[in-house]
């Protein structure tokens, strides 16, 4: 308590020019941590030591225990057993509040700001300096010291703007600034880059490197192995709640070594398929699709039977908005043709009826019914066609339908009667695929189908996409991971600022080419 009060006073007193204040280097150890949730082990005797001046990355599949480890170390979850030792001192009964008192801060996966409050209040929440009267707030002190923190993390924002107006990337930087304002020098980043574009992620990495130079103690979680190998000083691999490998020299480590440590066995390297589909009929055609709010304009393309068509673009480039307009979730001008026929009054329900499905990108918000059984999650879009007895649905037949679909997409669950939230991200996504395949689509739009899923699920999802495209479904695949577009697609369109800026086919689809196209450059001319 007194530590916190002191830190609060220190923060309040901090003048704007005292930015490069020195911190005592912090060596933070987690020793043989065990933690279980409702009987399932999230961590089993796992140990990690994070040294000052290093970026220490935790990798592993979903459910391996990475997040849990950092949350235990930041006092969010109390451990069942094991010790947390900071510079030789045992930390007991750690809570987020006392953790901050010790200088430990976790930047969560999703920024947890108070969206209706200003950036300034968010920055100082918990240590808001007092004014001249005991109950008043010293707004001036807050405003004058805030600039320094914003500057340190590279944020250029109006301190009085509500946090809801900030982009996700800015919200994350604000979280980092909050860590600094709270005088923390042990900072954890729990999968910060998954909602960010490549450029935004670079800004964050730059900040992490600057903090490393200042001898901060930094832990990081990511599923993007390229960036892990690029930024880490050390890597710890977790699998099934245990620490299974350390890589002390990431520069000498290959992507493949890392993946094999994560999944625990050797993996096959996928080859891209060579198919000639130029003769196949067009099942989906867009003509001059435009959004009233200008999110996209003049979008024209077609997808052929059996084709995997990639839509490459940065987050916010209009990919998702285009897909949602086709599916009938938002209005757009222009024409959509399904199997050659105009499809005018679009709505999700009529799209599904006509064999057009859309797997949304934000699974948690837009896809799953978290508290509902897996069975009903799988059959949700198929209820009109479920077997009936008289006017009533047939529960056992429904379970059979769901089980069959779940087997097709290899959902791993203790039972299909458990609530959806009991499954890992990868298995939730497999169940979502099961749902949409039940609708027997002719055109399937997958929006970031592998976001937040582990390596094993990714391979399965690629397999599903191969299978359904072989069976004649036109797949439109939206992805920020250019590697998977290269691996999966027969043709890729690049969208930049709401317009199609390029198209590549077959062997022209390379990482370099796509990378240039999504930022609006190096586009090949379209006919």
Partner 1 sequence: MLVVVTLAIFGLTSAAQPHFALQGNISFLLASAMPLAVVAVGETVVMLVRGIDLSVAPVLGIAAVSTGFIAQDSHVSVLSMLPLALAIGIGLGFVNGLFVTYARIPPIIATLGTFTVYGGIEQLICNSRTVVTLPTSWINLGTHDFLPDVPYILVPGVLVTIAMALILWRTRWGRSIYAFGANAEAAFRAGIRVKAIEISAYTVCGMLAGLAGLIYVVQVGSAGYNTGSEISIQLQAIACGLIGGTTLTGGKGGVVGSFFAAIFLTVALEGVIVAGIAYQWQSAGVGVLLLVAILIDAYQNRQGRSVSEALRSVLGGHKPVQQEASS
CB of 57 to partner 1, least distance (A): 14
Alpha carbon distance 423, 378 (integer Å): 13
State which residue, 96 or 348, has the beta carbon closest to partner 1: 348
DSSP 367: I
State which residue, 258 or 487, has the beta carbon closest to partner 1: 258
State which residue, 152 or 424, has the beta carbon closest to partner 1: 424
State which residue, 78 or 294, has the beta carbon closest to partner 1: 78
State which residue, 187 or 356, has the beta carbon closest to partner 1: 356
- List beta partners, residue 359: 446
CB of 369 to partner 1, least distance (A): 4
Coil, strand or helix at 346: coil
Query: Between vectors from CA 61 to CA 60 and to CA 65, what angle results, nearest 5°?
Result: 65
Listed in sequence order, the residues at least 6 apart from 345 whose beta carbon sits closer than 8 Å to its beta carbon are none
Coil, strand or helix at 356: strand
CB of 386 to partner 1, least distance (A): 8
State which residue, 124 or 358, has the beta carbon closest to partner 1: 358
Alpha carbon distance 160, 163 (integer Å): 9
Q: Where are the alpha helices (DSSP H) in 36-111?
A: 66-73, 96-101
Coil, strand or helix at 84: strand
Query: Between vectors from CA 399 to CA 393 and to CA 404, what angle results, nearest 5°?
Result: 125
CB of 370 to partner 1, least distance (A): 7
State which residue, 274 or 415, has the beta carbon closest to partner 1: 415
Would strands 234-239 and 242-247 be described as parallel, antiparallel, or unpaired?
Answer: antiparallel
Give the tokens for residue 195: 């909602």
State which residue, 177 or 375, has the beta carbon closest to partner 1: 375
CB of 417 to partner 1, least distance (A): 9
CB of 285 to partner 1, least distance (A): 22
Alpha carbon distance 208, 157 (integer Å): 20
State which residue, 306 or 360, has the beta carbon closest to partner 1: 360
Q: CA torsion, points 413, 417, 419, 425, in degrees to nearest 10? A: 20
State which residue, 64 or 94, has the beta carbon closest to partner 1: 64
CB of 12 to partner 1, least distance (A): 35
Query: Between vectors from CA 234 to CA 228 and to CA 236, what angle results, nearest 5°?
Result: 80
CB of 19 to partner 1, least distance (A): 35
Alpha carbon distance 412, 453 (integer Å): 13
User: How large is the greatest C-alpha to C-alpha distance in the chain, in angstroms?
Assistant: 78
CB of 504 to partner 1, least distance (A): 30
Q: Which residues bind partner 1 (CB under 8 A)?
A: 35, 37-40, 42, 60-68, 327, 329, 348-349, 351-353, 358, 360, 365-372, 376, 380-381, 383-384, 391-395, 414, 418-419, 421-425, 435
Question: What secondary structure, in 3-state letters, does 450-474 show?
Answer: CCCCCHHHHHHHHHHHHHHHHCCCE
State which residue, 11 or 359, has the beta carbon closest to partner 1: 359
CB of 376 to partner 1, least distance (A): 7
Between 455-470 and 425-438, two packed helices, what is the crossing angle to 10 degrees?
Answer: 10
CB of 342 to partner 1, least distance (A): 20
CB of 392 to partner 1, least distance (A): 4
C-beta atoms surrounding 441 within 10 Å: 21
State which residue, 370 or 519, has the beta carbon closest to partner 1: 370
Cβ–Cβ under 8 Å, residues 358 and 351: yes
Query: Between vectors from CA 429 to CA 426 and to CA 434, what angle results, nearest 5°?
Result: 130
Cβ–Cβ under 8 Å, residues 70 and 108: no
- List beta partners, residue 46: 33
């Amino acid at each position: 308590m007194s530590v916190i009060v002191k830190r609060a006073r220190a923060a309040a007193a901090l003048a704007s020019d005292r930015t490069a204040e020195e911190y005592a280097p912090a060596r933070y150890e987690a020793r043989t941590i065990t933690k279980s949730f409702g009987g399932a082990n999230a961590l089993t005797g796992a140990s990690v030591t994070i040294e000052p001046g290093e970026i220490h990355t935790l990798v592993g599949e979903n459910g391996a225990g990475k997040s849990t480890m950092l949350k235990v170390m930041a006092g969010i979850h109390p451990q069942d057993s094991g010790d947390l030792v900071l510079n030789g001192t045992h930390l007991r009964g750690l809570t987020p509040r006392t953790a901050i008192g010790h200088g430990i801060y976790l930047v969560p996966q999703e920024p947890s700001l108070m969206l209706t409050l200003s950036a300034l209040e968010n920055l100082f929440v918990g240590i808001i300096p007092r004014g001249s009267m005991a109950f008043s707030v010293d707004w001036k002190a807050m405003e004058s010291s805030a600039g320094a923190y914003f500057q340190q993390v590279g944020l250029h924002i109006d301190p009085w703007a509500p946090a809801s107006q900030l982009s996700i990337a800015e919200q994350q930087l604000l979280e980092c600034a909050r860590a600094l304002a709270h005088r923390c020098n042990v900072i954890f980043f729990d999968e910060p880059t998954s909602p960010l574009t490549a450029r935004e992620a670079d800004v964050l990495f730059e900040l992490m490197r600057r903090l490393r130079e200042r001898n901060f103690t930094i832990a990081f979680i990511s599923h993007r192995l390229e960036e892990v190998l690029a930024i880490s000083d050390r890597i710890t691999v977790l699998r099934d709640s245990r620490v299974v490998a350390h890589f002390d020299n990431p520069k000498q480590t290959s992507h493949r070594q890392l993946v094999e440590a994560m999944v625990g066995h050797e993996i096959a390297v996928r080859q891209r398929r060579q198919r000639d589909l130029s003769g196949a009929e067009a099942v989906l055609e867009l003509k001059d699709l435009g959004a009233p709010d200008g999110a996209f304009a003049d979008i024209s393309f077609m997808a052929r039977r059996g084709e995997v068509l990639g839509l490459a673009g940065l987050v916010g480039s209009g990919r998702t908005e285009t897909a949602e307009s086709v599916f009938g979730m938002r209005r757009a001008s222009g024409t959509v043709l399904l199997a050659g026929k105009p499809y005018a009054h679009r709505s999700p329900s009529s799209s599904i009826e006509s064999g057009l499905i859309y797997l949304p990108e934000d699974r948690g918000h837009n896809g799953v019914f978290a508290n509902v059984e897996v069975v009903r999650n799988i059959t949700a879009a198929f209820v009109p066609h479920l077997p009936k007895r008289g006017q009533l649905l047939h529960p056992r037949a429904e379970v059979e339908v769901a089980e069959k679909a779940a087997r097709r997409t290899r959902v791993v669950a203790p039972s299909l009667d458990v609530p959806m939230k009991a499954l890992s991200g990868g298995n939730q996504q497999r169940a979502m695929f099961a749902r949409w395949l039940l609708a027997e689509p002719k055109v399937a739009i997958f929006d970031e189908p592998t976001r937040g899923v582990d390596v094993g699920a990714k391979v399965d999802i690629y397999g599903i996409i191969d299978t359904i495209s072989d069976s004649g479904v036109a797949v439109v695949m939206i992805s920020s991971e250019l590697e998977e577009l290269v691996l999966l697609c027969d043709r890729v369109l690049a969208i930049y600022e709401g317009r199609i800026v390029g198209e590549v086919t077959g062997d022209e689809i390379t990482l370099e080419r796509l990378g240039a196209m999504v930022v609006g450059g190096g586009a090949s001319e379209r006919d």
